[in-house]
Amino acid sequence: MKYISNATETKQILTQWAEHGSVFVIETYFWNPGTLLQKSEQGLLQAILYQVLSACNDLVRVATPLRWKRSHRYQQQEPWSRDELLEALMRVLEHPNNTAYFCVFVDGLDECQGDRTKLVELVQRLAQTPRLKICASSRPRNAFRELSVECLGSSLSIQDFTGEDIRRFVLDELGKAIRSNPQHVELADVIVSKAQGVFLWVFLVVRSLREGFGEGDGFEMMHQRVNGLPSELEEYYKRIFDGSGPVYQRDACRILKVTAAFAAKGRAASFIVYWLLKQGIDDQDFAFQQGERDLQFHDLASMIMETQNFLNARCKDFVRMPDLKSNSPFDVGNYLLQSRVEFLHKTALDFCSTGHLSDVLNLNVPTHFKSPMFLSHLYIAQTQIQSMLIDTTFPGSCMCSVRSMRMAQLYLDHSHSTASKTVAAMEDLVLHHVRNSDCHPCRRSRGMSYDEYDLAELFLAYGLRDHIDEIIALRPNIQLSNDRVGTARLARAALGISSCRQFPMTDIDTDVLKALLQHEASTKGVWTGFVLKLALEQRLSHPSRAGFLAKAVEAAKILLAYGADTTPKVRRKAAAPRVSQSEVWLADLHADEPIPDLC
């Protein structure tokens, strides 16, 4: 679907259809293991409406007149409903001032949860719009077969068009072994017939055949390999998993459970996580025991190869670990910081996340693998290993560790005893980097050295803010009242406007901001950055977005209560300055609203 939507021929055909109007391609993809918006009609409509309004932003007020009025009054908005989204979309598509044409590519209709009849009705209604065309894909389900005939007018079966490509792939991959024996050429015909257009199945089968050739298998054995493999991917996965044997199957369950847990969060794990699986993490406190290991940079290349062999022996048809380019220090260090282990294909994730195998995985992993603390502990353990293996002067090493610990904090279960233990572990790890490297990108580029505020700034900017009191207490050298310039960096970091990392207004933790100011952190120069941040986010999305207005008001009141200087310091190029709505609103807030006692 991605190939079709991006093909030059597609754009040429659509341009002819639109005649003199502008034409826009819209892409949306259902994904069953994903979030609710990734597998629902609501998500489909939101994705289409967003892309349509991005192309026709002059029609935003036409699409949602009531929401448009409320946005200028800074009123809280209700969540969108399916019917409201559809109504707004149809208003834009049918509006007389709309001169644009749209082609919507929808992949994976069968992965949408809910009533398929309603989904078919939705697609039918959209397809009847003169300025919109739809290209949708699905597995062969009855509801969608009828849709293609009754509504879309025509349908294509992919396997009818990919036979020659599959044959070419098989012949190229098997190379001399298959071309030197006329009988083996028949294998290509059998593979094309059984593949039903699924290239992943072909890839897995060809890999099995190559192993057979390497073992000296003859023609009959090769045919048995191909004929013995089920043509359905799910059955293929099941056979591979069941055939791994009890010893390997125990490890495979852990590998797949961990990979699925990361994938469910939209992430992929470092190879270190799987190296830890090989070493054994049966103890629920494994995250706090890694400091006892004796590892150095020269061990890294062998660890990578060891982990790759471990995964290939147990799950090579399910997960993929990149190859190491070379054993040079740069390539090895870069591999540690950037390479990730992922599912070979999303169908492997589907297989592990639903049905029979999901229950098997849960029954065959330790209890703490299913704990909400598990991902947090994996990130902490990973960071401990990273800090031993890689020289802290290696580019990006400190930021990599801080990001890992940010993820640990995000997944942390807020149990007081565990949280305190985790904060102490994070403190030791980041301090190791701060003392030994110039990891802050802006400060490194200016040739500046680190001071006592850098650790707290990194924690605040990267979301490790839940226990700011403990963090400050662990750093007795931070005397906030003695350096009004240096400590303003902490307030900027808490507001998401620091030089090391920025984050949205809605992510500001006002309790943390208040705690910093109570510790006498400075607000010098913070107000201007805060106003500019508010103005920018207002332009990117309405300030009536859920939580935006409330958070902005609360943060502004705290800053004003602690003496923020609101004197404008922004240099404007235009002779007649244009005042933004954000600045007007903040001026009104400062002048008219009583400031509560926040101390």
DSSP letters spanning 18-38 = HTTS-EEEEEEE--TTS-GGG
Mean pLDDT calculated for residue range 301-314:
91
The label of the residue with tokens 């007007």 reads: 584
pLDDT of 102 above 90: yes
Q: What is the pLDDT of residue 10?
A: 92
Cβ neighbours, 10 Å, residue 514: 19
Question: Hey, what amino acid is at 377?
Answer: H
DSSP letters spanning 558-593 = HHHHTT---------SSSSPPPPHHHHHHHHHHHHS
Closest CA to 384 of 295, 324, 456, 305: 295
Cα dist from 480 to 428, 442, 485, 563, whole Å = 21, 22, 10, 16
For residue 309, name the pLDDT band (cuts at 50, 70, 90).
very high
Q: State the Cα–Cα distance between residues 381 and 466, nearest whole angstrom.
A: 20
Start-to-end CA distance of the chain, whole Å, equals 57
For residues 493 and 461, is the Cβ–Cβ distance under 8 A? yes
Give the tokens for residue 367. Answer: 């209890």
Could you tell me the pTM of the whole model?
Answer: 0.59
Query: For 209-246, b where at least 16 C-beta lie within 10 A, e where not — what string?
Result: beebbeeeeeeeebbebbeebeeebeebbbebbeebee
How many CA atoms does the CB half-sphere of 80 hold within 13 Å? Answer: 23
Q: What angle do CA 459, 396, 460 make, to 5 degrees?
A: 10
Angle subtended by helix axes 510-518 and 548-561, to nearest 10: 10
Q: What is the pLDDT of residue 466?
A: 54
The label of the residue with tokens 């939209």 reads: 266
The label of the residue with tokens 């572990």 reads: 425
Closest CA to 424 of 262, 291, 276: 291
Looking at domain 2-156, its CATH architecture is: 3-Layer(aba) Sandwich (3.40)
Q: State the Cα–Cα distance between residues 241 and 254, nearest whole angstrom.
A: 13
Cα dihedral 149/155/158/161 (nearest 10): 130
Render pLDDT for 414-469 as a digit per residue (tens, 0 to 9).
Answer: 333 345 565 566 556 555 554 554 444 434 433 434 445 565 676 677 666 555 55
Give the tokens for residue 374. Answer: 């598990």
Chain centre distance of CA 432: 28
Mean pLDDT calculated for residue range 20-36:
85
82 versus 400: the higher-pLDDT residue is: 82
Chain centre distance of CA 181: 47
Highest mean pLDDT among 153-167, 405-419, 559-573: 153-167
DSSP 468: H
For residue 497, name the pLDDT band (cuts at 50, 70, 90).
confident
Q: State the Cα–Cα distance between residues 49 and 55, nearest whole angstrom.
A: 10
pLDDT of 187 above 60: yes
Q: What is the pLDDT of residue 482?
A: 45
Q: What is the pLDDT of residue 48?
A: 94
Q: State the Cα–Cα distance between residues 150 and 56, nearest whole angstrom.
A: 30
Give the tokens for residue 223. Answer: 């045919």
576 versus 34: the higher-pLDDT residue is: 34
- Domain locations along the chain: 2-156, 163-231
Give the tokens for residue 585. Answer: 């609103």
Q: What is the pLDDT of residue 420?
A: 56
Q: What is the pLDDT of residue 188?
A: 78
For residue 138, name the pLDDT band (cuts at 50, 70, 90).
confident
Phi-psi region at 520: left, alpha or beta (left = phi > 0; alpha = psi -120 to 50): left
288 versus 122: the higher-pLDDT residue is: 122
For residues 514 and 540, is the Cβ–Cβ distance under 8 A? no
Angle subtended by helix axes 355-363 and 233-242, to nearest 10: 20
**Where does 282-419 show beta strands of DSSP type E?**
319-320, 340-343
Question: Hey, what amino acid is at 92?
Answer: V
Highest mean pLDDT among 232-241, 259-268, 407-416, 430-439: 259-268
